[in-house]
Each structure stands twice: as C-alpha cells, then as structure tokens.
Amino acid sequence: MPEYTATTIVVLALTLLVAGRRGLLRRRSTWLAAGIFSAVTIVADLVLTGLPIVTYDPAQLSGLMIGPMPIEDLGYGVALFLLAAIAWDAAAPRSRRR
Amino acid sequence: MIAASGQPAPAPAEVDERVAPHEPDPVRPPAPGVAVPGLYLLVIVGSIAGVSLLAWQHLPGTLSRRLLAPIALVLVVFLLVFDGLGAARGWFASNDAWVIAIVPPGIPPEEPLLLAFLALFSVVLLRAARRLLGEDDA
C-alpha cells in the first residue's frame, strides 16, 4: 500500500478511536462541524492541488481522486479536525468536562 | 548555418532519448503559468485574522489559553508525521513558485501557520455547532 495512503488510514483510525472513546462521535455537533470542515477542505485543497501549490508522487497515492485532489487529503483533514476537537475537550476546565 | 570562417557550423549534438531518456521527477511541480510567492502566506494570515475576529465577536472564550492545546497537538502530530515524513520520503512537494521558501526536508514556512489555522478553524466550527445544537462545550 502507498505510504501516504497507509499513514493517513492509520492516523485517521487512531483519531476516530480516541474520539469514540471520549464520546465525541456520539455528539451531533461533531458530525456537523466535521462535515463543514470536510467541505471547506475539499474546496481549499482543489485550489492547492489545482494551481498547483502542492504536488504528489502518484506512486504514494491510492489513485482515488476528487479532480486533482487525492482522497488521502480528505482523510488528513478529518483526522486533523478530530485531533483538534479531542485536544480542545481534553483542555477543558475540570468542572466542565463531561 | 555558416560560421564566420566560412566553414559550416557543426550541427548541435542530438540527444538520443533511447540512451538518456528524460524522466521528470514525479513530485516536481510543472512550471506554473502564474506564480505569486507570498500570496499563499497572505491568504493564510488573512484567514487566521478573519476566523479569529469571528471567534472574538461570536464565540467568547475561544481565543484563550485552552486553544493552545489543539494548536500544539496538531502542529506536533501533523508537522512531524505527515509533513516531515512526507516531504522527506517524497510523498508530496511544495511548489517554490508559490511559497516564500522551502526548509529541509521540504516544508515551506507557511505550513506551520496553515496547521495552526486549521486547528483554530476546527475549534471554531466545533464550538459553533455545539452552540447551534444546544450542546455543552466540553
């Protein structure tokens, strides 16, 4: 499996696992925010890969593309969103944690 | 073609593609038609300013010490795991026609700012969604 694809799957799986254990995936707000974040990620990434500001080695990709954007970038974005959400909740004052 | 001495000029050496095939680097970006180094950085800084202003006006408490946790975690994980490893292993490359510099192993100075912005944007979206749906913010 291409390295970028494999790394994205591993990091996304780990963030989903931690988010699930912390109860984030049971909250509708997480899915709503993740959906908006994903939509913005696709638009921004199409610009980044279309100009291009970033280019990829095709051998490191799964080959699933949204226009010039590799699908791995969407996994990267969702993992980043989940990691930020996990950290934001973990840093909450103790009295406010669920 | 006639040289100044009156003798025919030697023909330019022909490159035998079968002997020395031209194999472009797969991640090297093509020559861009339009390139504005610094514009990408300006867009990122402008996005940080805009989202920060929205957070300051509508989501009090977002621009706080608590925000340092997601920014720091995203920076450490994504700068090291994806960007550092990816640039070093040749998964992707930044187009030096659009970034202000490329720092070894191949990361532009814009990248940490982009990651910090994405962490901020994630928290703002999360808090906005929680407020919209009437959920607690922790």
| Interface predicted TM-score (ipTM) of this complex, two decimals | 0.94
Residue A41 domain flag? yes
CB A80, CB A34: distance < 8 Å: no
- pLDDT per residue over B69-101, tens digit each? 999 999 999 998 889 999 999 999 999 899 999
Q: Chain A residues within 8 A (CB-CB) of chain B?
A: 3-4, 7, 11, 27-30, 32-33, 36-37, 40, 51-60, 76-77, 80-81, 83-93, 96-98
- Owning domain of residue B128: 39-132
Boundaries of domain holding A38: 3-88
pLDDT for res A97:
56
User: How confident is residue B67, by pLDDT bands cut at 50, 70 and 90?
Assistant: very high
Is the model's pLDDT at B20 over the cut of 70? no
CB proximity B58 to A under 8 Å: no
User: pLDDT tens digit string along A54-78?
Assistant: 999 999 999 999 999 999 999 999 9
Number of domains in chain A: 1
- Whether omega before B8 lies within 30 degrees of 0, making that bond cis, reads no
Taking contacts as CB-CB distances below 8 angstroms, the residues of chain A near B28 are 55
Does residue A57 lie in a domain region?
A: yes
Using an 8 Å Cβ cutoff, are B51 and B120 in contact? yes
How many domains does chain B fold into?
A: 1
pLDDT higher than threshold 50 for residue B110: yes
In chain B, the percentage of residues whose pLDDT exceeds 90 is 67
CA distance B56 to B59: 6
Whole-number average pLDDT of chain B: 83
In a domain, A76, yes or no: yes
